[in-house]
Amino acid sequence: MAKLMRSISVVALCAAVLSLLDAPQPAVAQSRQSTAAPAAPGKDKMVHRLILQVNTNEPAVMNLALNNAANAEQHYKSIGEKVQIEIVTFGPGLNMLRDDTSPVKERIKSLAETSRSISFAACDNTRANMSRAEQKEIPLISQATVVSSGVVRVMELQEQGWSYVRP
């Protein structure tokens, strides 16, 4: 009788193991590293769109925004997809695009020479307020495009489906 019980237990154990092998496996979480293959030539390609907000006068934040832009551009270029990136500055962040105060203007110039995907927006409200406070015109770097309001620009781009990141 004991041998019969052990045999039944072994058979039950084998059946349980076999049923586990036959059962559907749970999905494995995707890695953060993209493994997408480049898009086939000639096919319509999605355009990824990214807003990077800079509203602080901190060189580390400005450099981080430029790093984020360059890295995103390189990623999509490497997989054959298009990307548009706009760095929107307002408040103290406008110093990033000021010709007389920007700690990163040479880096912006270099980036603009090699990239058509990255653009820079300067808030005109902030520029006008700075101009009044400093009692002088606020010069902007040539790569900057003036928008009436930086906050409104961010809102409108988000309403159009752009992704938003604040470094």
Residue-wise pLDDT for 119-149, tens only, equals 999 999 999 999 999 999 999 999 999 999 9
**Is residue 138 one of the residues assigned to a domain?**
yes
Residue 124 lies inside a defined structural domain of this protein: yes
59-78 vs 105-114: helix crossing angle, rounded to 10 = 10
Average pLDDT on 63-74 reads: 98
Q: Could you give the maximum distance between any two Cα atoms of the chain, in Å?
A: 102
- The mean pLDDT value of the chain amounts to 83
Question: 135 in a domain, yes or no?
Answer: yes
Number of domains the chain contains: 1
- In which domain, by residue range, is 58 found? 51-167
| 14 within some domain | no
pLDDT at 22 over 90: no
**Residue 167 pLDDT:** 92
Please indicate, yes or no, if residue 37 is contained in any of the structural domains.
Answer: no
Instruction: Answer yes or no: is 34 within a domain.
Output: no
Contact predicate 53/151, CB 8 Å? no
25 pLDDT above the threshold of 70: no
Q: Is residue 26 assigned to a domain?
A: no
Between 4 and 73, the higher pLDDT residue: 73
Identify the CATH number of the domain in which residue 88 sits. Answer: 3.40.1260.10
Judge whether 97 lies within some domain: yes
24 vs 15: CA distance, rounded Å: 16
Report which of 54, 50, 66 is spatially closest to residue 110, judged by C-alpha positions.
66
- Is residue 88 within 8 Å of residue 149, measured between CB atoms? no
Q: Report the distance separating Cα 146 and Cα 156, nearest Å.
A: 15
